[in-house]
Every structure is written in structure tokens, then in C-alpha cells.
């Protein structure tokens, strides 16, 4: 299925064409497929958006149990052609489906994420990081680089609950249809301990989103809406940070420190 001619014939047999509205760009490079399979840990893969089943086929050939979650009706029903007891398919939207019930403990999550939904899907997975052993994600190259830096909301939340690793680049020639940009494979591995407790996670996320909603403004102005300017100033002073500090200037450790300092003042 990774061969372009075979893939095209398969799509024609379904009466399907790649949908731009769903960012359907299919992997057609065996070397990349093999690299992704080699990254899997354990015996179970939760594959988000398998599409025509390029990776699904390789996972099953490797003897892995696959839980496939596919929104596209034609692709979801076509996976039955593999006729494998190792495959379980759910026709569902990953953003609204009960993933908690479908992720076996310790499973590896794998997905070639649609570019236009990368951020919400990554954030959904981060909220479920206690359920999986690692997430192997193919994303736009620019997104991968941004995630590594820890200087935006999604990146900070990723580093809070996981270690973030850049695995390897994937050129746009490895896909059909060929996208305009290159991609990369990254791995999110959940941390054993997280500096922000589960009960404070929502408040911490609110703090980040409030601050980054006006990322060029000083924190005393933006975060001051939540905690008061005086509280923010005192918290920054306690961390030896400038009162003019802006969101992108703080590291994850400093954000955690700021959050704790503000909590103590409440």
C-alpha cells in the first residue's frame, strides 16, 4: 500500500480521492514506514487516522495489535479487508471520541497528524498522557521545531507532561499527494512525575493561555487580569524575573515557579 501506484488503484476502487479539507497526504515511502514501526514499544498500537492503512498494514505484519481510529467512513470500513484478529477499528473523530476507553494501558500511539488539526489533537493526547507509553507523531516540520523550544502554550504543556524528542525529518516527496511543506517525526514520552498536579492542570493551562493571548505584552498586564498586577509583580520578584517579562521569555521551570508563587498569594 505504500507504493503510489497501488495506493492510487486502491483509492480508485473505493471511488475516493485525497481530501484537502481533511489534510489527506498519504505516506508512500517504505523507509519512513519501517522507521516508524521500529519506534513502537510494546505489542499494541493506537493508530489515529490510519487512512488507507499504509502503516496499519506494516503494524499487522509486525504482529502488533492495532486499535485504529478513523473519521473517514470509506477508509474506516475498508480496513476490514485486512481480516485480522489483531485489528480493532472505530469510526470516530479523535477530538470528540472516548479515547480513554480505547487506549490500552502502555500502548504506543501513532499518527500522521492532519496539519490543520495538529495542535488540538496534540493537546488532547497530552491530557491522556497517563494512559500511553509513548506517542509517535508525524507533524509539520515547523510545528516540530516549535514544540521543541518550549516557548508557546502547546509546547510548554508538552514539556510539562512528556519528554519531547525530534526523531527524523520526512521530506514532502515521501507523501502523495505531495504537500508544500516538509514533515518530521517526533516522540512524546510521558514523564513519571509532573511538577503540576492533576488538580492544578486546568488553572496552569488557563495561566498560559491568558499570557500568550497577548504574547508581546508584559505578564503584569496579561496575567494581572487573573491574579492582580501586584500579585504578579511580587511573584516575578520572588523568582528574580524582570517586571517587564513577557511570555516567551520564561522557561517551563519559571512558569511552574510563577504559577506556584501566584497560588501561594491567593
Same domain, 123 and 237: no
Same domain, 86 and 185: yes
Same domain, 32 and 140: yes
Q: So what's the pLDDT on residue 182?
A: 98
Q: So what's the pLDDT on residue 75?
A: 95
Same domain, 242 and 166: no
Q: What is the CATH number of the domain that holds 231?
A: 1.10.8.100
Same domain, 91 and 215: no
What CA–CA distances, in Å, run from 117 to 91, 122, 182, 242, 250?
Answer: 17, 9, 16, 36, 26
β-partners of residue 16 are none
What cell numbers appear for 118 in the block?
Answer: 495538529
Domain that holds residue 123: 4-190
Cis previous bond, 75, omega within 30: no
Same domain, 110 and 227: no
Q: Would you say 250 and 241 are in contact if contact means Cβ atoms under 8 Å apart?
A: yes
Cα separation of 148 and 152, whole Å?
Answer: 10
Say which residues have a Cβ less than 8 Å from residue 172's Cβ, sequence separation at least 6: 178, 179, 180, 181, 182, 183
Same domain, 53 and 151: yes
Same domain, 99 and 9: yes
Last residue of a domain, one of 167, 190, 213: 190
**Total tally of structural domains belonging to the chain:** 2
Last residue of a domain, one of 190, 221, 241: 190
Same domain, 26 and 138: yes
Task: Say what the pTM is.
Answer: 0.94
Say which residues have a Cβ less than 8 Å from residue 202's Cβ, sequence separation at least 6: none
Bridge-based pairing state of the strands 26-27 and 175-176: antiparallel
Same domain, 247 and 120: no
Q: What is the CATH number of the domain that holds 29?
A: 3.40.50.150
**Rounded mean pLDDT for each run of 10 residues along the chain, 266 residues in total:** 90 90 90 98 97 97 98 95 97 96 96 95 96 98 96 97 98 95 98 91 96 96 94 96 96 97 89
Q: So what's the pLDDT on residue 146?
A: 96
Q: So what's the pLDDT on residue 259?
A: 97
Q: So what's the pLDDT on residue 20?
A: 82
Same domain, 186 and 203: no
Q: What φ, ψ does residue 43 adopt, rounded to 5°?
A: -110, 0
Q: What φ, ψ does residue 50 adopt, rounded to 5°?
A: -70, -20
Same domain, 181 and 249: no
Last residue of a domain, one of 132, 158, 190: 190
Amino acid at each position: 500500500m505504500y507504493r503510489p501506484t497501488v495506493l492510487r488503484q486502491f483509492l480508485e476502487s473505493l471511488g475516493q480521492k485525497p481530501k484537502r479539507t481533511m489534510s489527506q497526504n498519504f505516506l508512500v515511502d517504505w523507509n519512513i514506514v519501517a522507521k516508524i514501526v521500529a519506534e513502537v514499544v510494546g505489542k499494541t498500537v493506537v493508530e489515529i487516522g490510519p487512512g488507507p492503512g499504509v502503516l496499519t498494514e506494516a503494524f499487522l505484519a509486525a504482529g502488533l495489535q492495532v486499535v485504529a481510529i478513523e473519521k473517514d467512513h470509506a477508509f474506516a470500513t475498508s480496513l476490514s479487508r485486512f481480516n485480522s484478529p489483531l485489528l480493532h477499528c472505530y469510526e470516530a473523530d479523535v477530538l470528540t471520541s472516548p479515547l480513554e476507553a480505547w487506549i490500552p494501558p502502555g500502548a504506543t500511539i501513532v499518527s500522521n497528524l492532519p496539519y490543520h488539526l495538529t495542535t488540538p489533537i496534540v493537546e488532547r493526547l497530552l491530557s491522556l498522557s497517563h494512559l500511553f507509553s509513548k506517542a509517535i507523531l508525524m507533524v509539520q516540520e515547523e510545528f516540530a521545531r516549535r514544540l521543541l523550544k518550549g516557548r508557546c502554550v502547546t509546547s510548554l504543556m508538552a514539556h510539562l507532561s512528556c519528554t519531547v524528542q525530534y526523531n527524523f525529518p520526512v521530506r514532502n516527496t515521501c507523501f502523495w499527494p505531495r504537500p508544500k511543506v516538509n514533515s518530521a517525526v517526533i516522540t512524546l514520552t510521558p514523564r513519571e512525575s509532573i511538577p503540576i498536579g492533576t488538580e492544578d492542570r486546568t488553572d496552569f493551562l488557563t495561566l498560559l493561555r491568558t499570557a500568550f493571548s497577548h504574547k508581546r505584552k508584559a505578564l503584569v498586564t496579561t496575567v494581572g487580569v487573573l491574579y492582580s498586577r501586584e500579585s504578579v509583580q511580587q511573584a516575578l520578584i520572588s523568582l528574580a524575573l524582570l517586571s517587564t517579562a513577557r511570555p516567551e521569555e520564561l522557561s517551563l521551570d519559571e512558569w511552574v515557579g510563577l504559577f506556584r508563587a501566584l497560588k501561594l498569594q491567593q
